[in-house]
Amino acid sequence: MLIARCFVFLTLITFTVNAQYTETINSNRPGTSHGAFAIGWNVLQVETGVSSYSMEHKNLNNSKIDGFKFNYLFRYGLLNDKLEVFLEGSVLSRNVLDNNYQNNYSTEISETLIGEQTIGFKYLVFDPFKNKKWHGQNFYSWKAGRVIKLTDFIPALSVMVGSGFNFDDKINYNDQFFEMKKTVYPDLLNQNVTRIRNFNHPIQNISPFVGIATQNHFKGRWVVVNNIFYELAFKNPTFPDYLPKSTNYNTLNYLFTITHNLRNPNWSIFGEFQTFKNGVYSDQLFKFGTAHLISKDIQADLNIGGSLKNTPSLFYLNLGFSKRFDWHIDVTDVELKQMKDFKKNQKIQRKAEKDSEKQQRKNDRKGKTVFDFFKRGEVSEKKKVRKEIKDLKKESKKLDKETKRQNRIDRKKNK
């Protein structure tokens, strides 16, 4: 968990201007908690793992489930170094031995299922590493940078929102034994088949959630992460309703992860505790593992984990791999200020152009522009000239008529 960040914090402790983006991969693996920091703008990261697991449920007549689980997490930095979108999901291939029947009846099947698919957003709200007074490098004392300070207990804080979508009714509320708890209705071939225990909990199809993540660094080698999520449970709408309905089985989920960077900075170890609770299935999981930084963009990890209870018991072994595709462009403070000034000037210019166009349209409607004034004057002058020409033509015709009349009178007198 956050293996690469520990290494970067050791070697690049003065890198606080863009603390969200690191020079090496920042993977959530091998744990399942989310670090407070986003991966950085225009960075794509793929985190995958394959697990071999085994479960047994004492209260369901020692029913068993074992198989393989492939999980994946896609992360991408949006807009800036503080915002991240992620898509998380899993695919399971499992063998199911269902002993939860009366009269020593049992069933055994093998199946492949699509696990819950989750989409969410994470935004860094507070970054204490930007405060150089708290986390600046001390050039006068090497020891000062290797002791725990009060300011180290002020965590980086991010908020997360999103939703999970369940495409298979056989796994609900994180419970892989959910299908075994349903009532079995006898038919003609199996009239005496009944469950030992059944619960008939409602199906969960949609699970929106909200959560926070905190992250602390201690002595340059230790990283502590806390996650708290509150997840709502909804089932798909049915006619005539068009909105999802609450199942009243909401989940509270808490994770605590601690990572230690070894003397070889490419190796780290971690431990994680997870507890979640809802009205269907609650558990406490312990996880331990190690991670190796192969290159600045590639990480491999190995971890094991399980539960201490037997309703159900759980043990797993997981092998993981993380790969970063880094298209991030570093921006200095000067360049960032220039970009902000440029955007500000562009905004002012667009506003001025918009105001000018608006005023132009207003003047066009009122006909009060200088151009329109001269244009109107020119039209009036033309009308005046045309009128004078018309009047002259009338006078000319009138004179012609008078001349002709006078000529006729004169010819009569001469005769």
Q: If you average pLDDT over residues 351-373, what whole number do you get?
A: 71
Q: Where are the beta strands (DSSP E) in 82-116?
A: 83-98, 107-114
Stronger pLDDT, 210 or 340, i.e. the higher one: 210
Q: Which of 150-154, 247-251, 298-302 has the highest mean pLDDT?
A: 298-302
Task: Report d(CA 374, CA 268) in Å as an integer.
Answer: 83
The DSSP bridge partners found for residue 373 are none
Q: How large a percentage of the chain has pLDDT more than 90?
A: 50
**Joined tokens for residue 339:** 């970009």
Q: Has this prediction a pTM greater than 0.85?
A: no
Mean confidence (pLDDT) of the chain = 84
- Please measure the distance between the N-terminal and C-terminal CA atoms of the chain and give it in whole angstroms: 135
* pLDDT of 369: 52
* Helix/strand/coil for 317: strand
Omega before 30 within 30 of 0, i.e. cis = yes
Find out whether 94 and 113 touch, Cβ atoms under 8 Å. yes
Largest CA distance in the chain: 155
Sign for the pseudo-dihedral over CA of 232, 233, 235, 241: negative
In this prediction, residue 185 carries a pLDDT of 74
**Exposure class string for 63-80: b at 16+ Cβ within 10 A, else e:** bbbebebebebebbbeee
- What is the rounded distance in angstroms from the CA atom of residue 354 to the CA atom of residue 92? 57
| Residue of higher predicted confidence among 139 and 200 | 200
* Mean pLDDT (whole number) for 36-47: 94
For residue 349 the two structure tokens come to 């210019």
What does the radius of gyration of the chain's CA atoms come to, in whole angstroms? 39
Q: Kindly indicate the confidence band of residue 401, based on its pLDDT and cuts at 50, 70 and 90.
A: confident
